[in-house]
Structure 1
Amino acid sequence: MTILDTGTTARASWMVCPGCEAMIYLKRYDRSDRVCPECDDHGMLTARQRIDLLIDAGSAVDIEYAETVPDPLAFTDSRPYPDRLAGARRKTGMADAIDCVRGTLGGTPVVLAAMDFRFLGGSLGSALGEAVTAAAEVALAERRPLIIVTASGGARMQEGIVALMQMAKTSRALRRLDDAGVLTVSVITDPTYGGVAASFATSTDVIVAEPGARLGFAGPRVIAQTIGQTLPPGFQTAEFLLEHGIVDLICHRSALRDRLIRLVGMTVRSARPYSDDTEAVITDPSVLSAGDPWERVRAARRLGRPTTLDHLAGAFEDFIELHGDRMSADCSAMVAGLARLDGVPVVVIGTQKGHTAAELAQRNYGMPTPSGYRKAARVLRLAAKLRLPVVTLVDTAGAYPGIEAEEQGQAVAIAENLKLLAGLPVPVVAVITGEGGSGGALALALADRVLMCENAVYSVISAEGCAAILWQDPAAAPQAARALRVDAASLLELGIADAVVPEPEGGSDRDPAAATALLRRALRQAVHELRAWPTSELLARRHNRFRGFGVARNDLQENR
């Protein structure tokens, strides 16, 4: 940032934007929380400005932390390290590169730790590591969500190996929050590198990034000097990282407080009582209207049927989508996030197709890749940590069968999801909303309660695939559909489905809003019922449910 000299002792009135080099009126820049009105470049904020921006007015109380060794190595480069510290303290008015407070955010008690790049580049030293750890300990003791706003160039070289140990120290502090079920959120600001990036900045439950914020272990200069690689455009920016599955979402500074209020609000349990005397689902197969299984297959594939995103918009009060597998990619065919159902915070995961050819192509025709299943697994673990019920919405022809998927371990990703769901200590309700195709569908449907929409289908293989293999004739698909018994009535008789969600006359595509309303009633009923079960009973019933498939009743009793 360049501030122009006005020739007076008063503060300069104009500045040059570091992003687009446009002339900006300084007061306007400050009023917009240091976001350029011309190019939207997000400028740096101080730690106190961050606290004022996020925490409810008048609620912030500083968190004290233990005194640390000021100069563990007696380090000197061009200046003694104590002199550098003294200079940074005079310049910033801070003890070190972070301020930590307890306060409220939209009325929810939280702990906020905000870093400040002005203090020795936000470098991670003993004092900063102790401050983050102390903040985490307050969050643990008071069961408050922990929010960390990061800005750092890496570990503090003047403290050497002692600075490196702060990565381990803070990681242990966050692990204790994981074990206790306390939500952690990091807000990545520009820049966040090195030891901070490789510890508490990226080990939180949810990673939010400001637009354009850079995050990485090795900085571009280090990469270029060490191995001489040419970096792609936008490398290590928030947008690059979202595409590669590292951050959950990008949030403009103007919307950040509201987004965080919604996130931490998901940790607040609703006391709203459930009351609905009417049965929301069908459990008697004879009540279902007769229909040819092949016609059900065709109905399940109609493009007008509500998708997962349609149901999320109509059946839930709120939804915050989380992105990425934290490894390499974000699968567009798998949608996952936090929501509220009748006031109850839940985790929702579902496959997403689309209504048009363009949407289908963009969503990979609803066929998840390994990164999609790994994203689902990550969010399932978050559900277990926060003790939130899980709702899965399944509409997929199956897992993506491409070469890349096999290279990335598609079978392993599905297997891991199945094992994770088998022991998940929270209620799981799965709904087959359209197609339930093979293991790709089952990877989301190992549940305590399996519901099927009236025109949905669920099978080990598509009718066409079965016909091609066993009949050697794809045209025999209608015959195969009948033989496989893929329809809801058959699956209810077989005990695969627990209940059927009725659809509007003519199918969900005839009245999508009504179909979503019917689904909402069924989900409310199932979730409220399952929440009342103790964890031990929940897991025992889930075990018995799947233990019994394919085994004669008498033999099953002997084998339990």
Structure 2
Amino acid sequence: MPATSFGTVAYSTTRPTETAPDWVMCDGCGTTVYGKRWLRNLRCCPECGHHGALTAWERLRLLLDPGSLEPLTFSVTQADPLGFSDSKPYPRRLSEARARTGLPEAVLGAVGEIDGSPVVVACMDFRFLGGSLGSVVGEVIARTGDIALARRAPLLLVTASGGARMQEGALSLMQMAKTSAMLARLDEAGLLTISLITDPTFGGVAASFATLCDVTIAEPQARLGFAGRRVIEQTIKEILPPDFQTAEFLLERGFIDFIAPRDRHRAELGKLLRAALPRHPEPLRPRTPAGDPDKADEVVMRDPARLRDDDPHGVVRRARRISRPTTLDYAALLLEEFRELAGDRVSGECPAVVGGLGRLHGRSVMLIGHQKGHDPAELARRNFGMPSPAGYRKSARLMRLAAKLGIPVITLIDTPGAFPGRQAEEQGQAIAIAENLKLMAELPVPVVAVVTGEGGSGGALALAVANRVLMWQDAVYSVISPEGCSAILWQDPAETGRAAAALKLRSRDLLELGVVDGVLLEPADGVDADPAAAARTLGLAIRSSLDDLEGLHGDKLRTDRHARFARYGAEYVASAASASASAADLVAADLVPERKAS
């Protein structure tokens, strides 16, 4: 049936006044709340914290800085492509929705600022036909993305939807592909995209633009899923848990980055927007009377002969001390506005790997590292710093985001190794590690790795394929633990000390072998004696490495990384013929195939 037009609707810039009944009953706990208090509390229950629905206009005013909101205006022709009618004709439903909400459709677009950072926003309104995704909604969201592309600004999508609009049939499905393609264009352009999930977000919206953004935030208890609870329970007769598809459920399973209450949205979004914007580093502060170092060569040793010749087994014990600073300790001490991001978007959230965006001396970076803990409870919760496949997939996701945004990757390594368990093997532990090795070799941005404690085997290397590799003086890095080596080769646990010496796992040994580029000096009582001073030293060393890599981009960074790892073992294999060359020779001679610079 040909499309039937029934009028042109202009997107109005009229901003309605916020109103509420004299008394509001909370849908979460049943408490009766005074209407004006309900509004002052951003439609959140002061008793239980339940987040009530906001209109699109309310949401835009909440998110954008005062005075910065500029609505996007579109003139749209409402159509009835199927001539659809159920209990009411589709045109009548649209007219009633416009009259009831004051909106021309289920989405509003705007440009503005969040904490001073420019942003383009598309905000859905569930009151308009359940926020369903129809042709106009899909087109407005796609055009809002195009405006973000033209302005080179981040895009924020605020979702509230029951899914695709049935009254438009297959044309509503096409909007899922259209909006997904729009996000692919923003990926190619290197622009940050953020999704803010509000309750509810289901069906075609959940299975397209709502879950395709770089960072996904959710309000507390917001529900997101493809099929709703009632559909699942009625279709397959399965009893679902009470928190099924809620934000808390999704966070635990690695599907969202974090949960933010409504009164924190602007602050959290502002932090993300600032951290994701590539910046040049700030000038180093002058040397202070106390003698704080302002040069990396004062804290990074590159001559192994000048390092302490400590007992290897003693170094292993010091590297494992749970009082040593963790990745999150360094993030808090070292980075400005660090925002941890979570989830691998596939199967889970691994607590043994943490990562997120922040700024080091003003330079935007992606920090990723192993996380152990300082007490038995935290060690157990963090799986003793032994990542599952979800941990490596999370780190890969964050590295890809860094590559998209053009910001450096910093990794901090402190793990006994990848988790050796049945579930890890069932989820593809070896594949997850291997994929990380290949991904890191190909990243088009600078990568600096620092071994801060234990560097255990492939589980450590999966975060250490870097342009520059450093380590603390009392850290260790080895193919296997001394205990494992003594058990396998000596078959005697008493030979652990002998194994530690044989493995050459100290910083002094690894610097001599060329496995690391420099060693960060630490006092005799270790970095845990003064974590703040350790963080300053670490920050200076990382900054120096990033400064060294400043002029390299894309293929040059890849070639540098390839050459680094190609040289290990190259001298032990003679060429079969004069025409042959080692991998290291080919890379060094720049004979690898040229690729388009990233």
TM-score, shorter chain, exceeding 0.5 = yes
Of 367, 387, 390, the match for 1:368: 387
Taking the aligned partners of 2:324 and 2:225, their CA distance within structure 1 comes to 41
SS at structure 1 position matched to 2:364? strand
Taking the aligned partners of 1:268 and 1:407, their CA distance within structure 2 comes to 38
What corresponds to 1:128 in structure 2?
137
Contact 2:418 2:460 in 1 (8 A): yes
What corresponds to 1:305 in structure 2?
324
SS at structure 1 position matched to 2:393? helix
Taking the aligned partners of 2:489 and 2:524, their CA distance within structure 1 comes to 34
SS at structure 1 position matched to 2:445? coil
Q: Which runs of 5+ in 1 are unaligned?
A: 1-9
Taking the aligned partners of 1:22 and 1:368, their CA distance within structure 2 comes to 43
Matches within 5 A, 1:376-395: 376-395=395-414
Contact 1:65 1:130 in 2 (8 A): no
Taking the aligned partners of 1:92 and 1:225, their CA distance within structure 2 comes to 32
Matches within 5 A, 1:541-556: 541-552=560-571, 556=582
Taking the aligned partners of 2:78 and 2:129, their CA distance within structure 1 comes to 17
Q: Which moved more, 1:501-510 or 1:301-310?
A: 501-510
Taking the aligned partners of 1:94 and 1:278, their CA distance within structure 2 comes to 58
What corresponds to 2:277 in structure 1?
268
Taking the aligned partners of 1:412 and 1:66, their CA distance within structure 2 comes to 50
Taking the aligned partners of 2:40 and 2:159, their CA distance within structure 1 comes to 22
Shift of 1:16: 1.1
Taking the aligned partners of 1:334 and 1:101, their CA distance within structure 2 comes to 36
Shift of 1:494: 0.4
Shift of 1:318: 2.1
Say how many residue pairs are matched: 551
Contact 1:274 1:528 in 2 (8 A): no
Contact 2:295 2:540 in 1 (8 A): no
SS at structure 1 position matched to 2:300? coil
Of 165, 178, 182, the match for 1:156: 165
Of 188, 199, 224, the match for 1:215: 224
Matches within 5 A, 1:161-560: 161-275=170-284, 276-279=294-297, 280-552=299-571, 556=582, 560=587
Contact 2:56 2:123 in 1 (8 A): yes
What corresponds to 1:105 in structure 2?
114
Q: Which amino acid aligns with 1:87?
A: E
Q: Which moved more, 1:275-284 or 1:190-199?
A: 275-284
SS at structure 2 position matched to 1:70? strand
Contact 1:504 1:514 in 2 (8 A): no
Contact 2:445 2:553 in 1 (8 A): no
Q: Which amino acid aligns with 2:143?
A: A
Q: Which moved more, 1:61-70 or 1:536-545?
A: 61-70
For residues 298-346 of structure 1, the C-alpha deviation after alignment (integer angstroms, 9 at most, x for no partner) is 1100111111111111111221011111112100101011111001110
Shift of 1:548: 0.5
SS at structure 2 position matched to 1:413? helix
For residues 333-380 of structure 1, the C-alpha deviation after alignment (integer angstroms, 9 at most, x for no partner) is 010111110011100100000111111001000000000000001101
Taking the aligned partners of 1:328 and 1:12, their CA distance within structure 2 comes to 43
SS at structure 2 position matched to 1:434? strand
Contact 1:65 1:134 in 2 (8 A): no
Taking the aligned partners of 2:153 and 2:254, their CA distance within structure 1 comes to 27
Q: Which moved more, 1:11-20 or 1:464-473?
A: 11-20
SS at structure 2 position matched to 1:67? strand
What corresponds to 1:54 in structure 2?
63
For residues 249-270 of structure 1, the C-alpha deviation after alignment (integer angstroms, 9 at most, x for no partner) is 0000011110000111123333
Contact 2:250 2:256 in 1 (8 A): yes
Taking the aligned partners of 1:248 and 1:165, their CA distance within structure 2 comes to 28
For residues 195-227 of structure 1, the C-alpha deviation after alignment (integer angstroms, 9 at most, x for no partner) is 000000000000000000000000111111111
Query: Is residue 82 from structure 1 mapped to residue 91 from structure 2 by the alignment?
Result: yes
Distance 1:244 1:22, change over 3 A: same
Q: Which moved more, 1:262-271 or 1:368-377?
A: 262-271
Q: Percent of counterpart pairs with the same letter?
A: 56
What corresponds to 1:143 in structure 2?
152
Taking the aligned partners of 1:558 and 1:323, their CA distance within structure 2 comes to 40
Taking the aligned partners of 1:343 and 1:273, their CA distance within structure 2 comes to 5
Taking the aligned partners of 1:412 and 1:296, their CA distance within structure 2 comes to 32
Contact 1:15 1:26 in 2 (8 A): yes
Q: Which amino acid aligns with 1:358?
A: A
Shift of 1:66: 6.1
SS at structure 2 position matched to 1:154? coil
Contact 2:20 2:36 in 1 (8 A): no
SS at structure 2 position matched to 1:24? strand
What corresponds to 1:73 in structure 2?
82
Taking the aligned partners of 2:272 and 2:547, their CA distance within structure 1 comes to 22
Distance 1:234 1:196, change over 3 A: same
SS at structure 1 position matched to 2:241? coil
Shift of 1:271: 4.1
SS at structure 2 position matched to 1:490? helix
Contact 1:394 1:433 in 2 (8 A): yes
For residues 168-197 of structure 1, the C-alpha deviation after alignment (integer angstroms, 9 at most, x for no partner) is 000000000001100000000000000000
Distance 1:285 1:162, change over 3 A: same
Taking the aligned partners of 1:292 and 1:65, their CA distance within structure 2 comes to 72
Distance 1:420 1:66, change over 3 A: farther
Q: Which runs of 5+ in 2 are unaligned?
A: 1-18, 285-293, 576-581, 588-598
What corresponds to 2:590 in structure 1?
none
Contact 1:61 1:101 in 2 (8 A): yes
Shift of 1:529: 2.3
